[in-house]
Amino acid sequence: MTAQGTAAATNETATNYAGGSSHVGVQAGVVHGDVNVYETPAGASPAEMFEIGARLLAGGMPGKARELIGKAVMEGGLTGNRVCFHWQLALVSGRTRHEMSQEHLTMLRHAPTACNVTGGDAWADGVRTLCRLLDSAQRHDEDLRPLLKDLDELADPQRSMILRHVQLFLEGPLEDDMWRRALDSAKRERMANARADRVWKFFEPRPVGPRVREPRPPDITTGTWAQALVSTAVLTAASLHIAYLLARELQAVAILAYLVSIGAGYCAARGGVDWRFRAERRREKDERLAPWRRTRNAPSGGFADDVDRSFRHYFARYVPRDTPRSVWLAETAGIRRCLRDEIVELYREQRIGVERISWLIRYRVGDVRKRWENGTLWDYRRELSTPPATKLLTLGGLALFFPAVVRMLASAMEIDPLSVIRSTAFALPAGVIASRAWLRILLERRRHAADHAEVSRIRKDCESAYRRWKAKLADKPDDSEMAAWLDCDRKMLLDEALRHYRLSMSSLIAHAFIETPARPGRSARVRSGPWRHERYKLLLFLLTTDGVRQVNAELDFTQGTLHDRDRTNYRYEAVTAVRVRQTDDDEHDFKLSLVNGEEIHIPAMAPEAERLQDEPSGVVSEVTRDAANLRHTLHVMEGIAAEGKRWIIRERQRAEQTAADH
């Protein structure tokens, strides 16, 4: 991540700084809690422990793998060719011969017998070749050609697993031959299985399904229905009484006016309701989507703030073609506000991170951009504009209704004035009340129907987008693939350093890596698995007879490319101290101080900020250190800091003593 300009002085005589070896900070990430490949269930059988151990070994965590496989073999009595092969690899992976305890060396030597290796399948062939390979590592005068021929004839995955895991354990000429084969394999496999097209998917969280705001039910009270029904009954009774008077006296013209008033009233009411609905709905949408409306600021650091920042990010990113960014952002401010409020309302109570609905935010923003580009973003204004025919129907109906009512009432007054006045006195207020009540009922029902149609369309589109996104993530790489690709990247950097310094593998006393996340980039892991990062900062230490060669590089893990190399050389006497600070949260902090005052300060792993509630404390830190082979790195660097060049002599003596004992 970002470099820190200075570091605190460790004593009064030297000023230490991180410089090019930057201080890497903390970066939270995604935890795939639904992927469980490393967690050992309570009461697991020996076979289950072995399978989990095999997955841990494939994921680059040999420490935990040898613990589980060893327990399955030594305590559970599990045997078999495949079991023996994985156990042997777990015992040697990630450490040199003299880093192994006497107990583990004994286990390694007796593994074929303990596991009852029999038959001639591919796993048995792998065990035999591996045993010969490990025995030949200390016999520098042995003809290696038959052994290497057998190795080359091994099938995969046995051959590739041997090349990946035994490198540190080997010595002498055999080490160079194995390194060349391991490097060739890394060159072939580093971009295999469509890595560049799939790595980014590992950092995508499991998406949450789409939710849309359900339409508000029609707001029609019992009182409104009572007003509508009672007033309609009164109006109908009064109208029928007037019709009876006209029919009794056979007033043909008045009856015709009566019928015209009914038809004209119906047309005016029908057109008026549609006109009113369109006008109110358009006004409501205009007000809701108005860019000038004030936006409430979400509380900082909360879910609403995360959603707000995500919408701002994608609206700023998805700018339509041939549109200035400022115009786009200004004109869509109201839409952005409405979409944000809807997402916050729908997902706030679900206790999920915004990253799990980022796909939905992207889709909604992309849909706005698409409608902007094809000119349909503001189509509701055209769709809700009142057609001239509706206006003509309404105004024409009113123009006929009132004269017809006047003509009808005039004729009725000539027949029975008192009765007509009484009926009219009831009909007029009843008509007003009925009109208002039925208008509210009809508008609410139409509003609900329109909302339902709009929500159904949005839900259908979002569900289609959700299915497309899930299908896109279907070939997400598993953790073992990520580990294998990272191992290839480490080998590429090691090869680059060896070629630059013109060194061979056998000429190295030791080599060690430290890896940390780098910005910008995301991080993710599976349950109980190590953190994986989109970008890494790799530090490689080469220990030679002349001193330490340090190579720093940034790795774009998605593309498998190395950038920003930085090389530093120093003698063993120049290393004044190596400090490893371990916190109560099991986080390790690495500092290497040189005699000139320079300090290399690197947190060796990201803290466990994203630990799941049911994960034991420290488990993620442990497997992340295991995957980074931090134990071997600290063994090498602490030895150099404590003993300097004498450490080399002592290491060689320890190696010779180990060989003599076995």
Q: Which domains does the chain show, CATH number per domain?
A: 1-32+478-662 (no CATH), 42-189 (1.25.40), 223-472 (no CATH)
Q: Does residue 478 surpass a pLDDT of 70?
A: yes
Token pair 């902090």 in the structure block, residue = 589
Find, among 181, 164, 162, the residue nearest to 85 by Cα: 162
Tell me: the pLDDT tens digits for 425-471?
Answer: 999 999 999 999 999 999 999 999 999 999 999 999 999 999 999 99
- CA 290 from centroid of its chain's CA atoms: 33
Tell me: the pLDDT tens digits for 281-339?
Answer: 999 999 888 877 666 676 777 888 899 999 999 999 999 999 999 999 999 999 999 99
Residue 312 has which token pair? 């701002």
Can you give the pLDDT at residue 643?
75
Whether 185 and 160 have beta carbons less than 8 Å apart is answered as yes
Q: Provide the 8-state DSSP code for 168.
A: G
Query: pLDDT tier at 611 (50, 70, 90 boundaries)?
Result: low
| C-alpha to C-alpha distance for 590 and 599, rounded to whole angstroms | 10
| C-alpha to C-alpha distance for 238 and 257, rounded to whole angstroms | 16
Q: Provide the 8-state DSSP code for 366.
A: H
523-526 and 30-32 strand pairing: parallel
Tell me: the pLDDT tens digits for 70-124?
Answer: 999 999 999 999 999 999 999 999 888 878 888 888 899 899 999 999 888 999 9
| C-alpha to C-alpha distance for 652 and 585, rounded to whole angstroms | 36
Can you give the pLDDT at residue 559?
92
Is the entire prediction scored with pTM above 0.75? yes
Find, among 88, 62, 107, the residue nearest to 158 by Cα: 88
Whether 111 and 87 have beta carbons less than 8 Å apart is answered as yes
| Residue type for position 487 | D
Query: pLDDT tier at 502 (50, 70, 90 boundaries)?
Result: very high
Q: Which residues pair with 562 in a beta bridge?
A: 555
Across the chain, what does the average pLDDT equal? 85
Residue 561 φ/ψ, nearest 5 degrees: -120, 145
- CA 479 from centroid of its chain's CA atoms: 15
| C-alpha to C-alpha distance for 485 and 131, rounded to whole angstroms | 26
Instruction: Name the maximum alpha-carbon separation found in the chain.
Output: 136
Query: pLDDT tier at 11 (50, 70, 90 boundaries)?
Result: very low
What is the per-residue burial (b if ≥16 Cβ within 10 Å, else e) of 75-110? ebebebbbbbbbbbbbbbbbbbbbbbeeebbebbbe
What average pLDDT score do residues 590-596 get? 75
Whether 59 and 38 have beta carbons less than 8 Å apart is answered as yes
